């Protein structure tokens, strides 16, 4: 690599996406391809269902347990904070992190919740949903794998877990759109936000894979000169 690795750290890449977008396959392929190119890379995934907090989240997602919406939102966030210092030290040690879901899913899935009696009113305000994740290690690049509800249906529809319903997914998609446009439109503080790129995940898997690679590899090759940022702070 051309750069002075002592001065630069590795990039933190987050891949977000709707259920059925191929996100898990794409993150795994990217990880494999990086390793095949001799890049030190670590693949992490949220929620991390292996920790005690993650086990509570897993039971909730599989509807084995019921939890208050606010309580489970804070558990998802705590599950990310559990790994925060590890993420930072890994990047500083020169290992690229590929992360399957992060704080953006945290906002989108919780702010998409509505009461069955009043489907037009959100249960949890957007800003309330963002608050617990403020200050987490900031990614250097977020790729949002986007598919339409029609494409998701054509891929066999959603699974059995709690949020895998078409109306919920449509609200989640709109919220991801809102989060992405906040980052792109040059709003106050947006200059310190991670770069957000929408990837059309409705295309052939190999085409999406190439698109993802072309976005990620230059960052890995160059390294990052700035310290690890803090999400939604200045």
Specify the 3-state DSSP secondary structure of 8. coil
Beta bridge partner(s), residue 137: 230
The CA-CA-CA angle for residues 142, 143, 147, to 5°, reads: 140
Closest separation in Å from C-beta 112 to ligand DGP: 8
Q: How far is CA 33 from CA 40, 41, 118, 159, 210, in A?
A: 11, 10, 46, 28, 11
- Judged by DSSP in three states, 9 sits in strand
232 binds ligand DGP (CB under 6 A): no
Task: Verify cis geometry, omega within 30 degrees of 0, for the bond prior to 210.
Answer: no
Bridge partners, residue 88, by sequence:
none
Is residue 99 a contact residue for ligand DGP (CB under 6 A)? no
User: What is the rounded distance in angstroms from the CA atom of residue 147 to the CA atom of residue 173?
Assistant: 9
Instruction: Determine, following the binding rule CB under 6 A, whether residue 176 of this chain makes contact with ligand DGP.
Output: no
d(CA 62, CA 65) in angstroms, rounded, equals 8
The DSSP code sequence of 115-165 is ETTEEEEESS-HHHHHGGGTTSBPPSEEEEEE--HHHHHHTT---SSTT-S
Does 106 engage in binding with ligand DGP (CB under 6 A)? yes
Of 104-112, 142-150, 200-208, 215-223, the window that binds ligand DGP (rule: CB under 6 A) is 104-112
Tell me if 139 contacts ligand DGP by CB under 6 A: no
CB of 6 to ligand DGP, least distance (A): 35
- What separation in angstroms does the CA of 155 have from each of 16, 151, 189? 18, 6, 38
Q: Out of 110, 132, 176, 211, which residue is the one contacting ligand DGP (CB under 6 A)?
A: 110
Can you tell me the distance from the alpha carbon of 222 to that of 234, in angstroms, rounded to the nearest whole number?
24
Stretch that binds ligand DGP, among 30-38, 101-109, 137-145, 223-231 (CB under 6 A): 101-109
Comparison of 152 and 220: residue with beta carbon closer to ligand DGP? 152
Return the number of the residue (105 or 211) whose C-beta is nearest ligand DGP: 105
Q: Which stretch binds ligand DGP (CB under 6 A): 99-107, 183-191, 201-209, 211-219?
A: 99-107
Q: Write each residue from 20 to 59 as x if it is in contact with ligand DGP (CB under 6 A), else as -, in one continuous string.
A: --------------------------xx------------
Is residue 158 a contact residue for ligand DGP (CB under 6 A)? no
Q: Does 146 bind ligand DGP (CB under 6 A)?
A: no
Tell me the window of 102-110, 140-148, 183-191, 200-208 that interacts with ligand DGP (CB under 6 A).
Answer: 102-110
Where on the chain is the footprint of ligand DGP (CB under 6 A)?
19, 46-47, 61, 73, 76, 101, 105-106, 109-110, 161, 163
């Amino acid at each position: 690599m051309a750069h002075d690795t002592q001065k630069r750290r590795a990039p933190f890449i987050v891949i977000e996406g709707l259920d059925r977008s191929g996100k898990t396959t794409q993150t795994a392929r990217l990880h494999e391809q990086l390793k095949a190119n001799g890049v030190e890379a670590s693949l992490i995934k949220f929620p991390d269902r292996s920790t005690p907090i993650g086990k509570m989240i897993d039971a909730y997602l599989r509807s084995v347990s019921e939890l208050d919406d606010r309580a489970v939102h804070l558990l998802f966030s705590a599950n990310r904070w559990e790994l925060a210092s590890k993420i930072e030290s890994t990047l500083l040690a020169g290992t690229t992190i590929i992360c399957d879901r992060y704080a953006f899913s945290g906002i989108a899935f919780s702010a998409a919740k509505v009461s069955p009696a009043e489907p037009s009113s959100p249960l949890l305000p957007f800003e309330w949903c963002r608050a617990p994740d403020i200050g987490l290690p900031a990614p250097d690049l977020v790729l949002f794998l986007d598919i339409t509800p029609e494409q998701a249906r054509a891929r066999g529809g959603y699974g059995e877990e709690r949020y895998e319903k078409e109306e919920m997914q449509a609200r989640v998609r709109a919220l991801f759109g809102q989060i992405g446009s906040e980052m792109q439109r040059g709003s106050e503080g947006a200059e310190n936000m991670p770069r957000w790129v929408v990837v059309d995940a409705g295309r052939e898997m190999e085409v999406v894979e190439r698109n993802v690679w072309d976005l990620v590899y230059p960052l890995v090759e160059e390294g990052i000169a700035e310290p690890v940022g803090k999400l939604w702070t200045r």
